[in-house]
Amino acid sequence: MAKQEKVDPWRAVYQFKVTLRDVHPPVWRRFQVTRDISLYRLHLVLQAVMGWWNYHLYQFIIRGTYYCDPDPEFDAEYVNARRVKLWQVLTRPRMKFLYEYDFGDGWEHELVLEKILPPAEGTPYPICLEGARACPPEDCGGSWGYARMLEILSNPDHEEYEETVEWLGGEFDPEAFDIEEVNRQLRRLRVR
């Protein structure tokens, strides 16, 4: 049996797999962040790794507690995501939780904490390790609207094809995933 490496809990790196729910075939990413980032910063990392544009509200649901940005118009019980660090709510591998983005379209993402690791020498965090498929376009109508959009795009003779391509601003490849571009976006997050 291989000896497990001891991880300094104060310098740990968390490895996640995030999967967009109700989209087939699945859109997913695997990425790593340091344990000391806030849930708000995790939201920004998720925006970058998934390919969203941060136009809408978000929330995390972790063990029945809601974490989001303070909003005086939102009359629900929540915890300010800017004040909670990752290590305070996630303590062991295989913990699962929900990230919801854009309450109108209702994009739900399942996150799994896969591993808690020591930091790798010279590795910039956050970092995306792998993934599959393009993120759906913003404001396309949630998983149902996205499925309809893909159906339209698969048939250039469809009566809504030209209108859909124009709305998209050009062609859309649902299989595209550019890890180098994702990591460029993540490097920009580190600078700020």
Residue 105 lies in a domain: yes
Q: Per the domain annotation, does 113 fall within a domain?
A: yes
Q: What is the 3-state secondary structure (H, E, C) of the chain?
A: CCCCCCCCCCCCEEEEEEEECCCCCCCEEEEEEECCCEHHHHHHHHHHHHCCCCCCCEEEEECCEEEECCCCCCCCCCEEHHHCEHHHHCCCCCCEEEEEECCCCCEEEEEEEEEEECCCCCCCCCEEEEEECCCCCCCCCHHHHHHHHHHHHCCCCCCCHHHHHHHHCCCCCCCCCCHHHHHHHHHHHHHC
64 has a pLDDT exceeding 80: yes
Stated pTM of the model: 0.93
For residue 8, tell me if it sits in a domain: no
- Which one, of 154, 144, 65, lies nearest residue 107 by Cα? 144
Q: What is the pLDDT of residue 4?
A: 52
- Residue 177 structure tokens: 């995933």
List, for residues 27-43, the tens digit of each pLDDT value: 999 999 999 999 999 99
pLDDT at 99 over 60: yes
Is residue 142 domain-resident?
A: no
Does pLDDT of 173 surpass 60?
yes
Asked whether residue 141 is assigned to any structural domain, the reply reads no
Query: Average per-residue pLDDT in the chain?
Result: 94
The answer to whether residue 148 sits within a structural domain is no
Q: pLDDT confidence of 146, banded at 50, 70, 90?
A: very high
Domain count, the chain: 1
Position 72 scores a pLDDT of 76
Q: Which domain holds residue 68?
A: 13-133+178-191
CATH for 42: 3.10.290.30
State the pLDDT at residue 75.
66
- What's the pLDDT score for residue 93? 97
Instruction: Please check the confidence at residue 85 and state whether its pLDDT lies above 60.
Output: yes
Residue type, 132: A
Residue 76: the pLDDT is 73
How much is the pLDDT for 7? 74
Residue 166 is predicted with a pLDDT of: 97
